[in-house]
Structure 1
Protein backbone atom coordinates (compact mmCIF):
# COMPACT_ATOMS: atom_id res chain seq x y z
CA UNK A 1 0.00 0.00 0.00
CA UNK A 2 1.43 3.38 -0.95
CA UNK A 3 0.38 6.86 0.16
CA UNK A 4 -2.83 7.97 -1.52
CA UNK A 5 -2.30 10.86 -3.75
CA UNK A 6 -5.36 11.63 -3.49
CA UNK A 7 -7.87 -37.95 11.48
CA UNK A 8 -4.64 -38.40 11.49
CA UNK A 9 -2.76 -40.60 13.96
CA UNK A 10 -0.01 -41.01 11.38
CA UNK A 11 0.23 -37.30 10.71
CA UNK A 12 2.01 -34.67 12.81
CA UNK A 13 -0.80 -32.24 12.27
CA UNK A 14 -4.49 -32.83 11.55
CA UNK A 15 -6.42 -29.93 10.13
CA UNK A 16 -10.12 -29.19 9.92
CA UNK A 17 -11.54 -26.21 8.01
CA UNK A 18 -14.33 -23.88 9.06
CA UNK A 19 -16.34 -21.36 7.10
CA UNK A 20 -16.39 -17.67 7.92
CA UNK A 21 -18.81 -16.44 10.55
CA UNK A 22 -19.92 -12.81 10.15
CA UNK A 23 -19.76 -11.89 13.83
CA UNK A 24 -19.19 -8.51 15.45
CA UNK A 25 -15.57 -7.59 16.08
CA UNK A 26 -16.40 -6.88 19.73
CA UNK A 27 -18.70 -9.76 20.56
CA UNK A 28 -18.23 -13.34 19.46
CA UNK A 29 -21.29 -15.27 20.66
CA UNK A 30 -20.30 -18.38 18.72
CA UNK A 31 -16.87 -18.55 20.33
CA UNK A 32 -17.62 -21.31 22.87
CA UNK A 33 -14.03 -22.35 23.39
CA UNK A 34 -13.72 -21.59 27.08
CA UNK A 35 -10.65 -23.69 27.80
CA UNK A 36 -7.27 -22.16 28.56
CA UNK A 37 -6.44 -19.71 25.77
CA UNK A 38 -3.13 -19.80 23.95
CA UNK A 39 -3.42 -16.29 22.61
CA UNK A 40 -1.16 -15.07 19.84
CA UNK A 41 0.97 -12.28 21.30
CA UNK A 42 -0.35 -8.91 20.11
CA UNK A 43 -3.10 -10.40 17.99
CA UNK A 44 -4.44 -6.87 17.60
CA UNK A 45 -1.23 -5.55 15.98
CA UNK A 46 -1.01 -2.70 18.47
CA UNK A 47 2.80 -2.73 18.67
CA UNK A 48 4.86 -1.03 17.56
CA UNK A 49 2.67 2.06 17.33
CA UNK A 50 2.55 3.70 13.91
CA UNK A 51 4.14 7.11 14.56
CA UNK A 52 1.88 10.12 14.05
CA UNK A 53 1.02 11.60 11.67
CA UNK A 54 1.85 8.65 9.40
CA UNK A 55 -1.15 6.51 8.40
CA UNK A 56 0.91 3.31 8.20
CA UNK A 57 4.40 1.81 8.46
CA UNK A 58 5.73 -0.62 5.84
CA UNK A 59 7.74 -3.66 6.98
CA UNK A 60 9.71 -5.57 4.31
CA UNK A 61 9.92 -9.36 4.48
CA UNK A 62 12.30 -10.55 7.20
CA UNK A 63 11.67 -7.64 9.57
CA UNK A 64 9.92 -8.00 12.93
CA UNK A 65 6.49 -6.43 13.35
CA UNK A 66 6.27 -6.48 17.12
CA UNK A 67 6.18 -10.21 18.01
CA UNK A 68 5.33 -11.16 14.42
CA UNK A 69 7.78 -11.51 11.51
CA UNK A 70 7.01 -10.10 8.09
CA UNK A 71 7.45 -12.36 5.06
CA UNK A 72 7.00 -12.17 1.32
CA UNK A 73 7.43 -8.70 -0.14
CA UNK A 74 6.14 -6.50 2.70
CA UNK A 75 3.17 -5.67 4.92
CA UNK A 76 1.69 -2.41 6.19
CA UNK A 77 0.93 -1.88 9.87
CA UNK A 78 -1.97 0.57 9.59
CA UNK A 79 -3.28 3.14 12.05
CA UNK A 80 -6.93 4.04 12.49
CA UNK A 81 -5.89 7.47 11.26
CA UNK A 82 -6.30 5.86 7.83
CA UNK A 83 -9.05 3.29 8.37
CA UNK A 84 -10.94 1.73 11.26
CA UNK A 85 -9.43 -1.21 13.11
CA UNK A 86 -11.61 -4.12 14.19
CA UNK A 87 -10.34 -3.58 17.73
CA UNK A 88 -7.84 -1.20 19.24
CA UNK A 89 -6.15 1.35 16.99
CA UNK A 90 -4.17 -0.67 14.43
CA UNK A 91 -4.66 -3.43 11.88
CA UNK A 92 -2.46 -5.14 9.31
CA UNK A 93 -2.62 -4.91 5.51
CA UNK A 94 -0.98 -8.11 4.21
CA UNK A 95 0.18 -6.23 1.09
CA UNK A 96 2.78 -3.54 1.42
CA UNK A 97 4.36 -2.90 -1.98
CA UNK A 98 3.15 -6.38 -2.99
CA UNK A 99 1.97 -9.66 -1.41
CA UNK A 100 3.32 -10.26 2.08
CA UNK A 101 2.75 -12.32 5.20
CA UNK A 102 3.23 -12.34 8.95
CA UNK A 103 4.21 -15.30 11.13
CA UNK A 104 4.43 -16.03 14.83
CA UNK A 105 5.44 -19.14 16.76
CA UNK A 106 2.92 -20.05 19.45
CA UNK A 107 3.08 -22.71 22.20
CA UNK A 108 0.73 -25.69 21.92
CA UNK A 109 0.03 -28.85 23.89
CA UNK A 110 0.17 -32.37 22.46
CA UNK A 111 -3.13 -34.06 21.59
CA UNK A 112 -4.97 -30.75 21.71
CA UNK A 113 -7.19 -28.93 19.21
CA UNK A 114 -7.11 -25.18 18.68
CA UNK A 115 -9.42 -22.60 17.16
CA UNK A 116 -7.73 -19.72 15.32
CA UNK A 117 -10.05 -16.79 14.69
CA UNK A 118 -9.47 -13.32 13.28
CA UNK A 119 -11.23 -10.31 11.80
CA UNK A 120 -10.94 -9.91 8.03
CA UNK A 121 -11.49 -6.93 5.74
CA UNK A 122 -9.64 -5.50 2.73
CA UNK A 123 -7.76 -2.37 1.73
CA UNK A 124 -10.59 -0.40 0.09
CA UNK A 125 -8.34 1.95 -1.89
CA UNK A 126 -6.82 -0.40 -4.46
CA UNK A 127 -7.80 -3.12 -6.94
CA UNK A 128 -8.47 -5.99 -7.14
CA UNK A 129 -11.85 -5.88 -5.42
CA UNK A 130 -11.50 -9.44 -4.09
CA UNK A 131 -8.67 -9.72 -1.59
CA UNK A 132 -7.49 -13.28 -0.92
CA UNK A 133 -5.12 -15.03 1.44
CA UNK A 134 -4.29 -18.12 3.46
CA UNK A 135 -3.99 -19.05 7.12
CA UNK A 136 -1.21 -21.61 7.54
CA UNK A 137 -0.01 -23.72 10.44
CA UNK A 138 3.61 -24.82 10.08
CA UNK A 139 3.37 -23.96 6.40
CA UNK A 140 0.24 -26.06 5.76
CA UNK A 141 -2.81 -24.07 4.60
CA UNK A 142 -5.69 -24.60 7.02
CA UNK A 143 -7.97 -21.95 5.57
CA UNK A 144 -8.19 -19.86 2.44
CA UNK A 145 -10.07 -16.59 2.82
CA UNK A 146 -11.40 -13.79 0.67
CA UNK A 147 -13.00 -10.39 1.15
CA UNK A 148 -14.78 -8.26 -1.46
CA UNK A 149 -14.21 -4.53 -0.85
CA UNK A 150 -17.07 -3.45 -3.14
CA UNK A 151 -19.03 -0.70 -1.36
CA UNK A 152 -16.57 -0.49 1.54
CA UNK A 153 -14.56 2.51 2.73
CA UNK A 154 -12.09 3.64 5.36
CA UNK A 155 -14.88 4.18 7.92
CA UNK A 156 -16.95 1.22 6.77
CA UNK A 157 -14.45 -1.63 6.55
CA UNK A 158 -17.02 -4.40 7.10
CA UNK A 159 -14.85 -6.78 9.11
CA UNK A 160 -16.06 -10.39 9.28
CA UNK A 161 -14.93 -13.06 11.71
CA UNK A 162 -13.05 -16.00 10.18
CA UNK A 163 -12.00 -19.19 11.95
CA UNK A 164 -10.32 -22.54 11.50
CA UNK A 165 -9.50 -25.53 13.69
CA UNK A 166 -6.28 -27.51 13.78
CA UNK A 167 -5.27 -30.45 15.96
CA UNK A 168 -1.76 -30.76 17.30
CA UNK A 169 -0.60 -34.29 18.02
CA UNK A 170 3.02 -34.19 19.15
CA UNK A 171 4.50 -30.71 18.92
CA UNK A 172 5.21 -28.13 21.64
CA UNK A 173 4.91 -25.15 19.30
CA UNK A 174 3.64 -24.30 15.83
CA UNK A 175 4.11 -21.35 13.50
CA UNK A 176 0.98 -19.43 12.61
CA UNK A 177 1.14 -17.56 9.27
CA UNK A 178 -1.25 -15.18 7.55
CA UNK A 179 -0.27 -14.75 3.89
CA UNK A 180 -1.74 -12.66 1.09
CA UNK A 181 -2.40 -14.31 -2.26
CA UNK A 182 -3.54 -11.02 -3.82
CA UNK A 183 -1.37 -8.92 -6.16
CA UNK A 184 -0.75 -5.21 -5.90
CA UNK A 185 -0.35 -2.64 -3.16
CA UNK A 186 -3.63 -3.26 -1.31
CA UNK A 187 -4.44 -6.64 0.19
CA UNK A 188 -6.43 -8.44 2.86
CA UNK A 189 -6.58 -6.63 6.21
CA UNK A 190 -6.49 -8.68 9.43
CA UNK A 191 -6.97 -7.81 13.09
CA UNK A 192 -7.88 -9.31 16.48
CA UNK A 193 -6.19 -12.70 16.03
CA UNK A 194 -7.19 -15.17 18.75
CA UNK A 195 -6.01 -18.73 19.42
CA UNK A 196 -7.86 -20.92 21.90
CA UNK A 197 -7.70 -24.56 22.84
CA UNK A 198 -10.84 -26.69 22.68
CA UNK A 199 -11.90 -30.27 23.13
CA UNK A 200 -12.39 -31.72 19.67
CA UNK A 201 -16.00 -32.63 20.48
CA UNK A 202 -16.65 -29.02 21.51
CA UNK A 203 -14.78 -27.25 18.70
CA UNK A 204 -16.97 -25.25 16.30
CA UNK A 205 -18.43 -27.63 13.71
CA UNK A 206 -16.90 -27.98 10.28
CA UNK A 207 -18.94 -27.52 7.13
Structure 2
Protein backbone atom coordinates (compact mmCIF):
# COMPACT_ATOMS: atom_id res chain seq x y z
CA UNK A 1 0.00 0.00 0.00
CA UNK A 2 1.48 3.32 -1.04
CA UNK A 3 1.26 6.35 1.35
CA UNK A 4 -1.19 9.02 0.29
CA UNK A 5 -0.05 12.67 0.37
CA UNK A 6 -2.93 15.13 0.54
CA UNK A 7 -2.78 18.87 0.02
CA UNK A 8 -4.47 21.29 2.39
CA UNK A 9 -7.13 21.86 -0.30
CA UNK A 10 -7.91 18.14 -0.48
CA UNK A 11 -8.17 17.88 3.31
CA UNK A 12 -10.43 20.91 3.42
CA UNK A 13 -12.70 19.42 0.74
CA UNK A 14 -12.79 16.14 2.62
CA UNK A 15 -13.77 17.93 5.83
CA UNK A 16 -16.65 19.67 4.04
CA UNK A 17 -17.83 16.34 2.68
CA UNK A 18 -17.68 14.86 6.17
CA UNK A 19 -19.84 17.63 7.54
CA UNK A 20 -22.40 17.24 4.75
CA UNK A 21 -22.68 13.48 4.46
CA UNK A 22 -23.61 10.45 6.46
CA UNK A 23 -21.73 7.22 5.94
CA UNK A 24 -21.86 5.79 2.42
CA UNK A 25 -21.15 2.23 3.51
CA UNK A 26 -23.99 -0.24 3.95
CA UNK A 27 -24.43 -1.66 7.45
CA UNK A 28 -25.31 -5.09 6.07
CA UNK A 29 -22.21 -7.09 5.10
CA UNK A 30 -23.84 -8.67 2.06
CA UNK A 31 -25.29 -5.50 0.54
CA UNK A 32 -23.88 -4.86 -2.94
CA UNK A 33 -25.02 -1.26 -3.38
CA UNK A 34 -24.27 1.96 -1.45
CA UNK A 35 -26.38 5.11 -1.26
CA UNK A 36 -24.67 8.45 -1.79
CA UNK A 37 -26.53 10.84 0.51
CA UNK A 38 -24.82 13.85 -1.05
CA UNK A 39 -26.34 13.41 -4.52
CA UNK A 40 -29.22 11.05 -3.73
CA UNK A 41 -27.88 8.54 -6.22
CA UNK A 42 -26.94 4.90 -5.77
CA UNK A 43 -23.39 3.84 -6.50
CA UNK A 44 -22.95 0.21 -7.60
CA UNK A 45 -20.42 -1.75 -5.59
CA UNK A 46 -18.56 -4.93 -6.43
CA UNK A 47 -20.83 -7.89 -7.24
CA UNK A 48 -20.18 -11.61 -7.31
CA UNK A 49 -17.58 -11.47 -4.55
CA UNK A 50 -18.50 -14.97 -3.40
CA UNK A 51 -17.81 -16.52 -6.83
CA UNK A 52 -21.12 -18.40 -6.68
CA UNK A 53 -21.86 -17.84 -10.39
CA UNK A 54 -21.61 -19.44 -12.80
CA UNK A 55 -22.31 -22.69 -10.96
CA UNK A 56 -19.64 -25.35 -11.44
CA UNK A 57 -21.34 -28.33 -13.16
CA UNK A 58 -21.93 -31.37 -10.96
CA UNK A 59 -19.87 -33.48 -13.37
CA UNK A 60 -16.65 -31.69 -12.34
CA UNK A 61 -15.17 -30.23 -9.13
CA UNK A 62 -14.01 -27.08 -10.95
CA UNK A 63 -14.41 -25.05 -14.15
CA UNK A 64 -11.43 -23.46 -15.93
CA UNK A 65 -11.50 -20.04 -17.61
CA UNK A 66 -8.72 -18.68 -19.80
CA UNK A 67 -7.73 -15.03 -20.12
CA UNK A 68 -10.41 -13.02 -21.90
CA UNK A 69 -13.35 -15.12 -20.71
CA UNK A 70 -16.05 -13.92 -18.31
CA UNK A 71 -16.35 -15.56 -14.90
CA UNK A 72 -19.77 -14.27 -13.91
CA UNK A 73 -19.30 -10.50 -13.36
CA UNK A 74 -15.50 -10.90 -13.38
CA UNK A 75 -13.14 -10.95 -16.37
CA UNK A 76 -10.38 -13.57 -16.40
CA UNK A 77 -6.85 -12.44 -17.33
CA UNK A 78 -3.37 -13.87 -17.52
CA UNK A 79 -3.27 -17.56 -18.41
CA UNK A 80 -6.27 -19.08 -16.60
CA UNK A 81 -8.19 -19.44 -13.34
CA UNK A 82 -10.27 -22.24 -11.81
CA UNK A 83 -13.72 -21.65 -10.33
CA UNK A 84 -13.79 -24.38 -7.67
CA UNK A 85 -16.70 -26.16 -5.99
CA UNK A 86 -16.73 -27.27 -2.35
CA UNK A 87 -16.86 -30.78 -3.75
CA UNK A 88 -13.08 -30.35 -4.06
CA UNK A 89 -12.29 -28.10 -1.08
CA UNK A 90 -14.21 -26.04 1.47
CA UNK A 91 -15.12 -22.50 0.44
CA UNK A 92 -14.78 -19.66 2.93
CA UNK A 93 -18.34 -18.55 2.14
CA UNK A 94 -21.05 -20.24 0.10
CA UNK A 95 -20.06 -23.26 -1.98
CA UNK A 96 -17.50 -21.92 -4.49
CA UNK A 97 -14.13 -20.13 -4.45
CA UNK A 98 -11.56 -19.07 -7.04
CA UNK A 99 -8.08 -20.51 -7.64
CA UNK A 100 -6.04 -17.75 -9.32
CA UNK A 101 -3.95 -20.39 -11.10
CA UNK A 102 -5.66 -22.60 -13.63
CA UNK A 103 -2.93 -24.27 -15.67
CA UNK A 104 -0.68 -21.25 -14.93
CA UNK A 105 -0.86 -17.81 -13.28
CA UNK A 106 -4.11 -15.96 -13.92
CA UNK A 107 -6.20 -13.06 -12.65
CA UNK A 108 -9.75 -11.75 -12.36
CA UNK A 109 -10.85 -8.12 -12.73
CA UNK A 110 -14.02 -6.10 -12.17
CA UNK A 111 -14.77 -2.41 -12.70
CA UNK A 112 -16.61 -0.66 -9.87
CA UNK A 113 -18.00 2.86 -9.56
CA UNK A 114 -16.29 5.26 -7.15
CA UNK A 115 -16.98 8.69 -5.66
CA UNK A 116 -14.52 11.61 -5.47
CA UNK A 117 -12.53 12.08 -2.25
CA UNK A 118 -13.61 8.69 -0.99
CA UNK A 119 -11.56 5.76 0.24
CA UNK A 120 -12.53 2.13 -0.21
CA UNK A 121 -11.73 -0.84 1.98
CA UNK A 122 -11.39 -4.11 0.05
CA UNK A 123 -11.51 -7.29 2.11
CA UNK A 124 -11.34 -10.92 1.05
CA UNK A 125 -10.67 -14.44 2.30
CA UNK A 126 -7.35 -15.99 1.28
CA UNK A 127 -6.10 -19.59 1.18
CA UNK A 128 -4.08 -21.69 -1.26
CA UNK A 129 -4.54 -24.71 -3.50
CA UNK A 130 -3.21 -27.48 -1.21
CA UNK A 131 -2.61 -30.01 -3.99
CA UNK A 132 0.36 -28.42 -5.76
CA UNK A 133 3.78 -26.87 -5.07
CA UNK A 134 5.08 -24.34 -4.27
CA UNK A 135 3.90 -24.24 -0.68
CA UNK A 136 3.88 -20.43 -0.58
CA UNK A 137 1.19 -18.98 -2.83
CA UNK A 138 1.53 -15.28 -3.68
CA UNK A 139 -0.51 -12.64 -5.46
CA UNK A 140 -1.45 -8.97 -5.74
CA UNK A 141 -4.54 -6.81 -5.45
CA UNK A 142 -4.30 -4.06 -8.07
CA UNK A 143 -6.34 -0.90 -8.65
CA UNK A 144 -6.22 0.25 -12.26
CA UNK A 145 -3.16 -1.94 -12.69
CA UNK A 146 -1.25 -0.51 -9.71
CA UNK A 147 -0.55 -2.96 -6.82
CA UNK A 148 -2.11 -1.78 -3.54
CA UNK A 149 -1.53 -5.01 -1.62
CA UNK A 150 0.66 -8.09 -1.99
CA UNK A 151 -0.54 -11.24 -0.28
CA UNK A 152 0.85 -14.69 0.49
CA UNK A 153 -0.46 -17.94 1.95
CA UNK A 154 1.53 -20.98 3.09
CA UNK A 155 -0.39 -24.23 2.49
CA UNK A 156 1.81 -26.22 4.89
CA UNK A 157 -0.44 -28.12 7.31
CA UNK A 158 -3.60 -27.39 5.32
CA UNK A 159 -5.79 -29.59 3.14
CA UNK A 160 -9.06 -29.74 1.22
CA UNK A 161 -11.14 -29.79 4.43
CA UNK A 162 -8.77 -27.57 6.40
CA UNK A 163 -8.04 -24.68 4.05
CA UNK A 164 -7.00 -22.21 6.77
CA UNK A 165 -8.82 -19.20 5.31
CA UNK A 166 -7.53 -15.80 6.52
CA UNK A 167 -9.17 -12.38 6.12
CA UNK A 168 -7.13 -9.82 4.16
CA UNK A 169 -7.80 -6.07 3.81
CA UNK A 170 -6.49 -3.18 1.74
CA UNK A 171 -7.45 0.49 1.28
CA UNK A 172 -7.34 2.63 -1.85
CA UNK A 173 -8.48 6.21 -2.41
CA UNK A 174 -10.40 7.74 -5.30
CA UNK A 175 -9.63 11.46 -5.56
CA UNK A 176 -11.24 12.29 -8.91
CA UNK A 177 -12.17 9.05 -10.68
CA UNK A 178 -15.74 7.82 -11.06
CA UNK A 179 -14.69 4.19 -11.57
CA UNK A 180 -11.70 1.91 -11.05
CA UNK A 181 -10.84 -1.66 -11.98
CA UNK A 182 -9.99 -4.09 -9.19
CA UNK A 183 -7.74 -7.00 -10.14
CA UNK A 184 -6.72 -10.05 -8.13
CA UNK A 185 -3.65 -11.58 -9.79
CA UNK A 186 -1.50 -14.59 -8.98
CA UNK A 187 2.26 -14.16 -8.89
CA UNK A 188 2.82 -17.88 -8.24
CA UNK A 189 4.00 -20.29 -10.94
CA UNK A 190 2.46 -23.63 -11.77
CA UNK A 191 -0.95 -25.21 -11.57
CA UNK A 192 -2.16 -24.41 -8.04
CA UNK A 193 -2.15 -20.84 -6.80
CA UNK A 194 -3.66 -18.55 -4.18
CA UNK A 195 -7.39 -19.05 -3.64
CA UNK A 196 -9.78 -16.17 -2.89
CA UNK A 197 -13.39 -15.93 -1.73
CA UNK A 198 -15.92 -13.55 -0.14
CA UNK A 199 -14.57 -10.32 -1.67
CA UNK A 200 -16.24 -7.19 -0.27
CA UNK A 201 -15.86 -3.44 -0.80
CA UNK A 202 -17.04 -0.68 1.52
CA UNK A 203 -16.52 3.07 1.37
CA UNK A 204 -15.38 5.66 3.90
CA UNK A 205 -14.53 9.36 3.76
CA UNK A 206 -10.82 10.20 3.64
CA UNK A 207 -10.72 11.54 7.18
CA UNK A 208 -12.64 8.61 8.64
CA UNK A 209 -11.20 5.61 6.83
CA UNK A 210 -9.39 3.35 9.33
CA UNK A 211 -5.77 2.46 8.64
CA UNK A 212 -5.06 -1.06 7.42
CA UNK A 213 -2.05 -2.99 8.68
TM-score (norm 1): 0.83
String of CA shifts for 1:74-98, please: whole Å, max 9, x gaps: 0000000000000001000000000
Match of 1:114 in 2: 120
Q: 1:146 aligns with which of 120, 141, 152?
A: 152
Q: TM-score, normalised by structure 2?
A: 0.80
Structure 1: where are the runs of 5+ without partners? 1-6, 11-32
SS of the residue 2:207 aligns to:
helix
Structure with the higher helix share, 1 or 2: 2
Please say which structure displays the higher CA radius of gyration.
2
Structure 2 counterpart SS, 1:201: coil
Separation (CA, whole Å) in 1 of partners of 2:24 and 2:135 = 36
Alignment of 1:59-78 (within 5 A): 59-78=65-84
Tell me the equivalent position of 2:111: 105
3-state SS of 2:111 partner:
strand
Q: What is the alpha-carbon distance in structure 1 between the residues aligned to residue 210 and residue 68 of structure 2?
A: 34
Q: Give the RMSD, CA atoms, in angstroms.
A: 1.5
1:188 alignment partner in structure 2: 194
Q: Name 2:25's counterpart in structure 1.
A: 35
Instruction: Tell me which moved more, 182-191 or 195-204.
Output: 195-204
Equivalent pairs, count: 179
Alignment correspondent of 2:203: 197
CA deviations on 1:108-160 (whole Å, 9 max, x unpaired) are 11110000000000000000000000000000000000000000000000100
In structure 1, what is the Cα distance between the partners aligned to 2:208 and 2:92?
Answer: 26
Q: Distance in 2 between matches of 1:85 and 1:54?
A: 16
Is the counterpart of residue 50 in structure 1 residue 56 in structure 2?
yes
- Preserved contact between residue 117 and residue 206 of structure 2 (Cα < 8 Å): no
Mapped to 2, the partners of 1:34 and 1:162 lie a distance apart of 22
| Cα shift readout 1:31-56 (whole Å, capped 9, x = no counterpart) | xx872445311000000000002100
Aligned equivalent of 2:129:
123
CA distance in 2, matches of 1:132, 1:147: 7
Q: Which residue of 2 aligns with 1:29?
A: none
The answer to which structure, 1 or 2, has the higher relative contact order (CA under 8 A, 6+ apart) is 1
Aligned-pair CA distance for 1:203: 2.2
